[in-house]
Amino acid sequence: MTHSFDSGKRSADGLLHQLTAPLRLALEARAPWELGAGIAAQPLLNTAPKGDGHPVLVLPLMFGSDLNTLPLRTFLSGRGYAVSAWGQGVNLGPRAGVFDACRRRLAELAEGQSRTVSLVGWSLGGLYARALALAAPAEVRQVICVGTPIGAEPRPVDLWRTYERLTGDTMGLPPGLDALHGPLPVPATSIYSRTDGIVPWHQSLEPAGPRAESIEVESSHLGLGVHPLTLYAVADRLAQPAQVWRPFRPEGMLGWLYPKPAAAT
């Protein structure tokens, strides 16, 4: 009976998603306004917890670059973190050598500061972050995904492998990617929006786990990585002491700004 109810609910959610897709895509035009909202939100962002100086690696969205993540990185640097860009130009997908370069960058940051590294990935960048956490969990402090298609169907990993088979071009995918869409061995946070016009919100929910959570923000996909509520939530998550994890619990007025997140399945 429960299975039938869940299947019916998923079908209804899927139908609703299809019907609202044109509107959500049109709402992506909000992105410039969401970037500008950061200026008006400075009093709020100034109250965000400050960090302990540990290294943070920020990975951009598909067809994005370090320029797109500059507002996020500038904010996090101002909160006291040793923030690094991915430094590989435009993110055109998992081409040959991309993951290996990310892996080397992670190792350099972890070894150079003798501390584990927090990974913040926007959209496709979040999948890179998850793959890095699976490949080198001892070097990763936590993973924060922003608008990432964690539970997309068909899975991005399957699409990448199909591309390899059809073209013969290697994409340099690391082993163990079948676990990419499941619980991670490190603390994991996913920030998502129900009005995301590119990634369906229910595909961005973090899989359930003792150190996993999903945080909802009202935003477009293209503006999610620079939205002031995203910036605050990322700073809050990064400020947690190493080896200590607690779910995001905005207090006071902040509790009104963040909707109650959906439960992961």
- Judge whether 262 lies within some domain: no
> Average pLDDT, whole number, for the chain?
85
What share of the chain in percent tops pLDDT 90?
59
Q: Is residue 263 part of a domain?
A: no
113 located within any domain: yes
Does residue 7 sit within a domain? yes
Average pLDDT over residues 197-209: 93
Q: Give tens-digit pLDDT for 11-60.
A: 545 544 554 445 444 445 555 656 556 666 788 899 999 999 999 999 99
Q: Does residue 27 fall inside a structural domain?
A: yes
Q: Are 259 and 218 in contact (CB under 8 A)?
A: yes
Q: What is the pTM of this model?
A: 0.86
CATH number of residue 198's parent domain: 3.40.50.1820
User: Which has more pLDDT, 137 or 261?
Assistant: 137
Whether the predicted pLDDT of 235 surpasses 50: yes
pLDDT tens digit string along 136-181? Answer: 999 999 999 999 999 988 788 888 888 778 777 777 777 778 889 9
96 is a domain residue: yes
Assess if residue 265 is contained within a domain: no
With 80 as the cut, is the pLDDT of residue 65 above it? yes
Q: Which domain holds residue 22?
A: 2-242+250-257
Is the predicted pLDDT of residue 105 greater than 80, yes or no? Answer: yes
What pLDDT does 169 receive?
74
139 backbone φψ class: left, alpha, beta (φ>0; ψ -120 to 50): alpha
In the predicted model, is pLDDT for residue 4 greater than 50? no
Number of domains within the chain = 1
Percentage of the residues of the chain whose pLDDT score is greater than 70: 83
Q: Is residue 264 part of a domain?
A: no
